[in-house]
């Protein structure tokens, strides 16, 4: 199928599939420089323990609801946790938190069930694309490194305005690169010594408890509790946030030495951790960044939960406008 002409205004059904919830909305572009309109929000719980078949059925229902609400939808843009195959939009790999998710034909099922073009990408990749096109990155920049700090440490990077997806769809797994402070610590991925072990929200909780990320952690002492205690002046909490923030800053500095992006964007729940954490990022970054690159700004994401929805919609728009694929 050849790339088709794209007419405006254009409404796209956008869906963001996470481990906790499946969020959907319609995203409408008017073809101008005005930001897209995101509305008709729908949210259902993912309940991943039901298995991949049931999760995909819920995704199809969310898409159906959106298309029934806006019958003028031109297609479906979807993003998902796990690794999404850039060629066919299937799930190359879903981690242990999403049993039966690996191999699910995400894009093809949506296309077949709804009879509309569909495009799929990784959730952090979509987040980066949303912030790049309509968020904090700004129209004057064409590259960025987005780091998502939550339960794990996700990432994505954009070069010349487009997300680098990689052969398997896995480009941007910065959390699984070596970090000196993580030497000898087992990672959730099965290897050891990875940045995620000392920089994620789970790492903050684990280190606070004197444990590591693969240990059983006290759910009453997760990252948000550590942040709250630091805000009240608790020395141990402040020291842990400083350690993890500095470790993340060092990692970001070394990744920037590889990519040399125009900016870094921070997103995810841990970005609310407070000044002890945020100041330590700048300290660690300064310690590792090559001097000529030291002016790379580290920004806070601006779009929140709309970022992946807008990014997933932009991905569909890119596919329909520019790629001669059978989308
Ligand atoms: Zn790892």
Distance CA 95, CA 74 (A): 31
Kind of pairing between the strands at 118-122 and 144-149: unpaired
Over range 122-135, report the average pLDDT: 97
311 alpha carbon – ligand 1 mean position (Å): 26
Burial of 85 (0-12, 13-18, 19+ CB in 10 A): buried
What is the per-residue pLDDT for 223?
Answer: 93
What is the per-residue pLDDT for 326?
Answer: 61
Question: Is residue 242 over pLDDT 50?
Answer: yes
For residues 221, 305, 319, 82, the Cα torsion angle rounded to the nearest 10 degrees is 10
171 alpha carbon – ligand 1 mean position (Å): 14
Alpha helices in the chain (DSSP H): 52-69, 106-114, 123-134, 196-199, 201-208, 223-231, 235-259, 275-288, 306-322
Q: Are residues 144 and 292 in the same domain?
A: yes
* 178-196 pLDDT, tens digit each: 999 999 999 999 999 999 9
66 alpha carbon – ligand 1 mean position (Å): 36
196 alpha carbon – ligand 1 mean position (Å): 7
Q: Are residues 152 and 295 in the same domain?
A: yes
Q: Are residues 79 and 168 in the same domain?
A: no
In the structure encoding, which two tokens stand for residue 65, read together? 């609801």
Over range 31-56, report the average pLDDT: 96
Q: Which domain holds residue 110?
A: 10-128+305-322
Q: Is residue 313 part of a domain?
A: yes
Distance CA 170, CA 184 (A): 24
Q: Are residues 56 and 114 in the same domain?
A: yes
Question: Is residue 98 over pLDDT 70?
Answer: yes
Confidence at 321, pLDDT banded by 50, 70, 90:
confident
65 alpha carbon – ligand 1 mean position (Å): 37
What is the per-residue pLDDT for 327?
Answer: 58
Angle between helix axes 52-69 and 106-114 (nearest 10 degrees) is: 40
Looking at the chain, the whole-number percentage of residues with pLDDT higher than 90 is 93
What is the per-residue pLDDT for 95?
Answer: 77
Q: Are residues 92 and 156 in the same domain?
A: no
DSSP classification of residue 188 = T
Q: Is residue 2 part of a domain?
A: no
In the structure encoding, which two tokens stand for residue 316, read together? 């569909």
Question: Is residue 169 over pLDDT 50?
Answer: yes
Who has greater pLDDT, 199 or 321?
Answer: 199
């Amino acid at each position: 199928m050849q790339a088709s002409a794209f007419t405006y205004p254009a409404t796209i059904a956008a869906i963001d599939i996470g481990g906790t919830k499946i969020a959907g909305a319609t995203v409408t572009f008017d073809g101008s420089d005005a930001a897209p309109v995101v509305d008709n929000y729908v949210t259902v719980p993912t309940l991943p323990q039901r298995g991949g078949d049931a999760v995909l059925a819920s995704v199809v229902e969310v898409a159906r609801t959106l298309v029934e609400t806006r019958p003028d939808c031109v297609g479906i843009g979807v993003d998902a946790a796990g690794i999404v195959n850039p060629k066919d939009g299937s799930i190359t790999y879903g981690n242990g938190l999403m049993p039966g998710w690996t191999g699910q034909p995400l894009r093809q099922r949506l296309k077949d069930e709804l009879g509309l073009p569909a495009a799929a990408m990784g959730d952090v990749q979509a987040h980066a694309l949303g912030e790049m096109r309509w968020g904090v990155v700004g129209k004057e920049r064409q590259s960025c490194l987005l780091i998502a700090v939550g339960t794990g440490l996700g990432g994505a990077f954009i070069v010349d305005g487009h997300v680098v997806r990689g052969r398997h769809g896995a480009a941007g797994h910065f959390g699984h690169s070596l970090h000196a402070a993580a030497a000898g610590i087992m990672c959730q991925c099965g290897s050891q010594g990875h940045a995620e072990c000392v920089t994620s929200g789970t790492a903050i909780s684990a280190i606070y408890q004197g444990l590591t990320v693969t240990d059983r952690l006290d759910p009453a002492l997760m990252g948000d509790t550590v942040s709250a205690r630091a805000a009240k002046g608790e020395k141990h909490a402040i020291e842990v946030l400083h350690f993890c923030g500095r470790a993340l800053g060092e990692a970001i500095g070394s990744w920037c030495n590889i990519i040399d992006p125009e900016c870094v964007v921070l997103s995810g729940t841990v970005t609310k951790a407070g000044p002890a954490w945020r100041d330590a990022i700048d300290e660690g970054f300064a310690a590792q960044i090559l001097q000529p690159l030291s002016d790379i700004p580290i920004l806070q994401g601006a779009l929140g939960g709309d970022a992946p929805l807008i990014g997933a919609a932009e991905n569909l728009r890119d596919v329909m406008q520019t790629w001669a694929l059978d989308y």
